[in-house]
Amino acid sequence: MRRFLALILYALAPFGANASDLPQVVSVNVCTDQLVMLLADPDQIVSLSNLSDDPRSSVMADEARRFAKNNSRAEVIAVQNPDLVVAGDYSDPSMIALLRSIGIEVVQFPITSALEDIPNDIRKMGAHLGQVARAEAMATAFERDLAALPRVEEDAPVAAFFLPNGYSLGAGTLSHEILSAGGLRNLSVELGFEGNGTLSLEQVILHQPDALIGAQPFSGFSLSEEMVSHRALTEFPTLKTSVAWVCGAPFVMDAIASVRAQLDDLSTSARN
C-alpha cells in the first residue's frame, strides 16, 4: 500500500472548501465507502456501510472505524439526513427508490470490470463530493501508473481462477485485469470465458496451469470447497490474493504489484 499512502494521507487532510459548504454523504456500498474515504473531508462523511470496517471486505477497514455506520435501510439513512447517498448499481432498489422519493440524491456506481474505468469513477465521485481537484490528482496518478505497466507476454505463464464449486473469472472482470496486468495469462480466457463461469477439476488437470488462484477458506466444512482442495491439485503452486482485488480503487495497484512479485517467485522456483 506504500504506492498510495501519500495520496491517502493527502485525501484525509483538510482541503478545499469548508465542510459546511460540501455535501454530506452516506455510502451504502463497500467500494463506494473506499472512494468516499479517499476523497471526502472527514466532516463530510455521515456514515459508511456495515462492511466498511470488515478487513475481509475493505482495504480501508482501519480507517473506516472512525466513522458511523448504516445498515443500508432507507429509514435509517433518512434520519441521518445526508445531502447525498452513494451506492452500487446492485444496491437495494427499493431503498434507493424510497430515498429518491423523499428528495435525497442517490448516485450509483457500476461494478468495476476494467482498470481503465477506475479514474473515471474517481473523477465521478470527486465531482459529486465537491472534491474535483483532489479527485483529479488521484485519477491522474493512477493513469500514470497504469500506463507504465508492461503488457502481458504471449508466452507468459498461465494461472487459473479455481474457486469453490469451480467458479472462475474470465474476460470482462476486474480480477482478470489485475492478473493480466501482473504478467499472467488467465486459463479461463484461454478457454474463451466471458465474465464468470466454472472450471471442472478435469479441465484444470488437463491444461496444467502454472498456478492456481483460490479463495481464503472459512472455518468449518463446505462441499463447495471440497473440489478445490482435491489432492490432485496439491502440486500446483498457488497465488495469494487480497482484499485489494475487491474494488475499483487505487489499491488495485498493490494487487498488481503482489501478482508480479509472486510471478517472480514462481520463475525463480522453476529455474531452481
Average pLDDT, consecutive stretches of 10 residues, N- to C-terminus, the chain (272 residues): 42 47 97 98 98 96 98 96 97 97 97 97 98 98 97 94 94 97 97 94 96 72 68 90 96 97 83 60
**Residue reference for cell 503488457:** 151
Instruction: Report residue 149 as a C-alpha cell.
Output: 505497466
**DSSP secondary structure letter of residue 81:** -
13-146, superfamily in CATH?
Nitrogenase molybdenum iron protein domain (3.40.50.1980)
CATH code of 158-271, in short, is: 3.40.50.1980
- What pLDDT, on the 0 to 100 scale, is given for residue 90? 95
Q: Do domains 13-146 and 158-271 have the same CATH topology?
A: yes
- pLDDT at residue 267, rounded to an integer: 74
What's the pLDDT at 220? 52
Q: Where are the domains of the chain?
A: 13-146, 158-271
Please tell me the number of Cα atoms within 13 Å of 231 on its side-chain side. Answer: 0
Q: Which amino acid is at 4?
A: F
Q: How far apart (Å, rounded) are the C-alpha atoms in residues 40 and 134?
A: 9
The per-residue pLDDT for 17 is 46
Query: Taking the complete model, does pTM exceed 0.75, yes or no?
Result: yes
Predicted pLDDT at 217: 56
Tell me what pLDDT residue 216 has: 63
pLDDT of residue 270: 66
Whether the CB-CB separation of 209 and 156 falls below 8 Å is answered with no
Judge whether 135 and 195 are in contact, CB under 8 Å: no
